[in-house]
């Protein structure tokens, strides 16, 4: 039985990834804060997977991330998806220290703590997937806090990838463009939601990366990583 932990699975891209990865041989550990939304994700995946465990924690607080880690139990995780994220979008002069710290907490410190804990215990062939953004590659006016957090996670995970290589654990970074999810509801402006990609597109890319890497390595190496 495989165990997959998806942070931020209550809606949007995280929910779509949960729906895509649901399988008879998988236990899905689904994280979120909104219990109603998380229950909807559970309802969508439960008939298609071995077991669903819900983890309700605020990732902006380090103590809550530690509680999530304890609640996830001692059995190893085969896939960690660092997907939970927040977007504060305003001129850099207007960002409050609370907004800055919240962005750092959810988008950087939580993935750091989750990766540090779970990747240390992963068996060979496991994966860490980070949902980054095109904002991990380019700066955009008014997106400084968000870009800062995605650039930071990019740097962290590039180094972690090298540290985990010998243990045959993959670190896969995904860089979605604008995706039509609730994250845009709170962002001021007239955004072309109809032209955005869908969360299902991102989930398909994640599933493809997980599947493709496994298959291509199998062709060249006796070790399936």
CB 187, CB 145: distance < 8 Å: no
Residues 165-204 that bind ligand NAP (CB under 6 A): 176, 178-179, 181-183
Select the span of 11-19, 92-100, 155-163, 206-214 touching ligand NAP (CB under 6 A). 11-19
The CA-atom distances, in angstroms, between 193 and each of 177, 178, 179, 184, 198 are 12, 8, 8, 8, 10
Smaller CB separation from ligand NAP, 25 or 36: 36
Should residue 144 be labelled a site residue for ligand NAP when binding is judged by CB under 6 A?
no
5, 21, 72, 84: residue in contact with ligand NAP (rule CB under 6 A): 84
- Scanning 19-27, 53-61, 72-80, 215-223 for contacts with ligand NAP by CB under 6 A, the matching segment is 53-61
Residue closest to 2 by CA, chosen among 70, 77, 55: 77
59 contacts ligand NAP (rule: CB under 6 A): yes
Instruction: Find where tokens 């997907």 sit.
Output: 83
Rule CB under 6 A: is residue 106 a binding residue for ligand NAP? yes
Q: What are phi and psi of 53, to 5 degrees?
A: -120, 130
Q: Tell me the C-alpha distance between 32 and 88, whole Å.
A: 19
Counting contacts by CB under 6 A, is residue 109 touching ligand NAP?
Answer: no
Question: Is the sign of the CA dihedral 125, 160, 181, 44 positive or negative?
Answer: positive
Residues interacting with ligand NAP, by CB under 6 A?
8, 10-14, 32-34, 37, 58-60, 83-87, 106, 131, 133, 176, 178-179, 181-183
């Amino acid at each position: 039985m495989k165990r997959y932990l998806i942070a931020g699975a209550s809606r949007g891209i995280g929910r779509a990834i949960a729906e895509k990865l649901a399988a008879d041989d998988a236990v899905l550990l689904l994280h979120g804060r909104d219990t109603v939304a998380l229950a909807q994700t559970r309802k969508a995946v439960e008939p298609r997977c071995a077991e669903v465990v819900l983890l309700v924690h605020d990732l902006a607080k380090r103590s809550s991330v530690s509680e999530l880690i304890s609640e996830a139990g001692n059995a190893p995780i085969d896939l960690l998806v660092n997907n939970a994220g927040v977007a504060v979008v305003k001129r850099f002069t207007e960002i409050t220290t609370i907004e800055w710290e919240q962005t750092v907490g959810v988008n950087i410190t939580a993935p750091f703590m989750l990766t540090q804990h779970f990747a240390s215990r992963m068996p060979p062939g496991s994966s860490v997937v980070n949902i980054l953004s095109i904002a991990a590659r380019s700066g955009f006016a008014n997106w400084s806090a968000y870009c800062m957090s995605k650039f930071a996670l990019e740097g962290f995970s590039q180094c972690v990838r090298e540290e985990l290589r010998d243990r045959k654990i993959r670190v896969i970074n995904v860089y979605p463009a604008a995706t039509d999810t609730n994250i845009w509801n709170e962002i001021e402006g007239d955004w072309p939601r109809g032209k955005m990609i869908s969360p299902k597109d991102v989930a398909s890319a994640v599933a493809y990366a997980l599947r493709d890497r496994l298959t291509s390595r199998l062709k060249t190496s006796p070790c399936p990583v």
